[in-house]
Amino acid sequence: MKLVFAGTPQVAVPSLQALIDSDHEVAAVVTRPDARSGRGRKVSPSPVAELAEKAGIEVLKPAKAGDPDFLARLAEIAPDCCPVVAYGALLPQAALDIPRHGWVNLHFSLLPAWRGAAPVQHAVLHGDDVTGASTFRIVKELDAGPVYGTLTEAVRPTDTSGELLDRLADAGAGLLVRTVDGIASGELSPVPQPDAEVSYASKLEPADAEVDFTAPAQRVDRLVRACTPAPGAWTTFRGARLKLGPLVPVTDADTPALDPGRLHADKKRVLVGTATHPVRLGEVQPQGKRAMNAVDWARGVRPTADDRLGD
């Protein structure tokens, strides 16, 4: 089939590459306009745009998917199907109506669970043992279209959302190609999602990533892993923000009992109290400074008995 692929971030790149390598024709790519990124805040094309340009594929960057010029060009290309992975903008009905087989989205959850912007983060945050990916036909209602196919992926006890998303992006690329193959052959028909067991995964904002050490250690651990790498878990120390990397709940017999937020540092580890048992800090990043090992950080700040995280 003739395809127009829509996607923007790095997580969409494996799917675009897999479609380029398939028997189908990727006639064009739709992505978000160039944006500032990186330390220098330079204006750069999206990872999807970079791959498309390298492959010699036409790149469309509409400010809105309803722009008349974009819709006219899409109609001119006349794609059979438009695969989508993390495009990042709403698609109006006028765009949805152009390809004869519609727009087929690769979503990183087992629908109808975790519809919305942050399915992988919420799977980690809520302690799901298994998650996955789904391909479905896009309809007007959020992530509610009929499903073509799914795959499952175990959520490992130490997974960050970034690590889990990377695995799903790689596995999901194959699922998306198989879905397009099935649509092209006429062997695959989508199945409506069940009305039960619907859940929603709203975007996690920086305010959501503040660690509450009065919560149980398990909750603290899940929040930090869910917010790694973005938006980045954080707390405060002596009035300044302190970014936290993944940490480890500790239940050793020789671990001291600590009140929530209370610090205990020695030559080998830095512990913080929670509502249950302590957690061991991994990497931390003080405001305006580079990331460092928690032991090195504690050696520099020398926490006292009155210091606590989340002050």
Binding residues for (6S)-5,6,7,8-tetrahydrofolate: 109-112
Exposed / middle / buried, residue 105 (Cβ in 10 Å: 0-12, 13-18, 19+):
buried
In whole angstroms, what is the distance from residue 162 CA to residue 180 CA?
26
Asked if residue 15 lies in contact with residue 104, where contact means CB atoms within 8 angstroms, the answer is no
Name the packing angle between helices 47-54 and 13-20 (round to 10°).
20
Distance CA 180, CA 186 (A): 10
- The tokens for 215 are 């919560």
* Residue 148 near residue 136, CB atoms below 8 Å: yes
Contacts of 196 (CB under 8 A, 6+ apart): 112
The contacts of residue 230 (CB under 8 Å, 6+ apart) are: 161, 162, 204
Instruction: Judge residue 20's burial from the number of C-beta atoms within 10 Å of its C-beta, 0-12 exposed, 13-18 middle, 19 or more buried.
Output: middle
**CA 253 to chain centroid:** 37
Please provide residue 259's backbone torsions phi and psi, each rounded to the nearest 5 degrees. -65, 155
Q: Binding site: residue ranges?
A: 109-112
Which has the closest alpha carbon to 201: 86, 116, 106, 110?
Answer: 116
Rounded CA separation 286/305 (Å): 20
Question: What share of residues in the chain are helix, strand, coil (percent, to 5)?
Answer: 30, 25, 45
